Chain A
């Protein structure tokens, strides 16, 4: 069932509103050389067509407001609507405004920075990066600047990542000009310490870790890992994708991490997954603070200001001050819950994951690394079932599927992260659906879904010949 694009609904000359006031002609405002030659090709529709178009689209959408959304490592928790109200309060702010007239906004940024530093055990923070992978790149560039400053830029050329790492870790390191070396996981799913020892040395710039890791397991030897890194002069990077599991209970800084990036759009309820924009603040220990991007929000005698006077900074990583409204939502979340509330959220996220893991085991799913999981776990279907078919089948049963085929070290992986905002009844209904899928005929699974707005997509064509614009630009 195809759905027309807004451009296909367009009819020449049709209007949704009429400008009643006199509007100046563009020619009167701008010199001729800056005027476009032809008007922009915007769709022309009446108001009702516009409303129906977007209401219709929203009804075809699957999101956390419509269904359970257990996408592993993505922390698709509920986005409180109150935060939208908070964000709206700042709607009239302009980024070019004199900071003296935007003290409230700067105070919010400064306070949020303080909260995040306290939660992660870091000494300094930037709120500028636009999302997680951008935060990673910022963090690794800070580490690179640190090594270069100490004269070790030419020798430390390798970044280590575990084989269970998020794909963005090796991509980040590579983009920052490093060679990537993989460290294997041990049989318990945690970093293999002996293998790590063999890789560490004066040629290594950083080790990037997620804790709990992508199997949902806490790296219990983290203090030993950070000691080994410190001895080798290797900076330890914390991928904050999974902070939701330990928020308020344990701090990356206390574990010995030097750099942390956070995903405000995961852990701190900012909408994401097409609803962005995200936000990826980066916290660092004091020795890395001079290299953070400019500007930082600082507190002076005459109020808050933007500090550009940072000679060792890696420079700007984003226009203006990052995705400010994402910061407002995260600030509102922290202020609403307080430390006790954040701790409870983390505890419930872990409890939900552990409960769901046991339910799925009862239904016949395997758990290849069955340690006490944190906020997520990785399951495997019984022999003969394909994770992709189960994911498509789940859509038919009304649930968003979990992450599939990740982490790479588990075959037919189903990576499930329920988050703390789901009820016991929802978890049980999901487990029932997962059980039902295993009883479906093979043919039903291979052809699912049936009643969704679109059925099984041609992934190969979508990858090789994506059509990204409506207009044929040639």
Chain B
């Protein structure tokens, strides 16, 4: 399972990639594989203030629907509109074109509480 080392992770299978004073958020390769073919992504509203752990988006697959949580507190500043027409990007390129939203964290330091690639690998092993 692919776990890039350039970003942070949550136990609930989101990744968070810092870019300047924002972070890009999506779901991991493991998560997209477990969900199966994604058919719809419900995106949050731009400008919405969110708390850490708050459900902000929903990914629906042929199997199930799953909430996507904010990895840190902040404000939604951009969403991936491409997913409205082509939600399968989440399956095809979970760490790139399949990103879901961009968040401006209240405090970039909060990211330090998240898992690194090694920590996330351990989460996956403990779940197997």
Seen from chain A, the residues whose Cβ lies within 8 Å of a Cβ on chain B are 167, 180, 182, 388, 404-406, 408, 411, 459-460, 462-464
B37-A459 in contact (CB<8A): yes
The one of A182, A406, A462, A464 that contacts B64, using a Cβ cutoff of 8 Å: A406
A460-B62 in contact (CB<8A): yes
Given the complex of chains A and B, what is the CA–CA distance between A404 and B66 in angstroms? 15
A180-B55 in contact (CB<8A): yes
B64-A408 in contact (CB<8A): yes
With A405-B63, A408-B66: A460-B34 Cβ-Cβ less than 8 Å: no
CB nearest to B34 among chain A residues: A411
Chain B residues closer than 8 Å to A182, beta-carbon distance: 55, 67
B64-A405 in contact (CB<8A): yes
B39-A463 in contact (CB<8A): yes
Chain A residues closer than 8 Å to B46, beta-carbon distance: none
Given the complex of chains A and B, what is the CA–CA distance between A411 and B124 in angstroms? 12
Number of A-B contacts (CB under 8 A): 24
B65-A167 in contact (CB<8A): yes
Chain A residues closer than 8 Å to B39, beta-carbon distance: 460, 463-464
Seen from chain B, the residues whose Cβ lies within 8 Å of a Cβ on chain A are 34, 37, 39-40, 55, 62-67, 127
Chain A residues closer than 8 Å to B66, beta-carbon distance: 408
Given the complex of chains A and B, what is the CA–CA distance between A29 and B11 in angstroms? 68
Chain B residues closer than 8 Å to A167, beta-carbon distance: 65
With A180-B55, A411-B34: A463-B62 Cβ-Cβ less than 8 Å: yes
With A411-B34, A464-B39: A459-B62 Cβ-Cβ less than 8 Å: yes
Q: How far is the CB of B75 from chain A (nearest CB, A)?
A: 17
In the complex, 9 of the A-B residue pairs with CB atoms within 8 angstroms, ordered by the A residue number, are: A404-B63, A406-B64, A411-B34, A460-B37, A460-B39, A460-B62, A463-B39, A463-B40, A463-B62
Given the complex of chains A and B, what is the CA–CA distance between A167 and B58 in angstroms? 13
CB nearest to B91 among chain A residues: A460
Q: How far is the CB of B2 from chain A (nearest CB, A)?
A: 19
Given the complex of chains A and B, what is the CA–CA distance between A72 and B39 in angstroms? 24
Given the complex of chains A and B, what is the CA–CA distance between A424 and B127 in angstroms? 35
CB nearest to A387 among chain B residues: B63
Q: How far is the CB of A62 from chain B (nearest CB, A)?
A: 20
CB nearest to A457 among chain B residues: B62
Chain A residues closer than 8 Å to B65, beta-carbon distance: 167
Given the complex of chains A and B, what is the CA–CA distance between A388 and B63 in angstroms? 9
Chain A residues closer than 8 Å to B62, beta-carbon distance: 459-460, 462-463
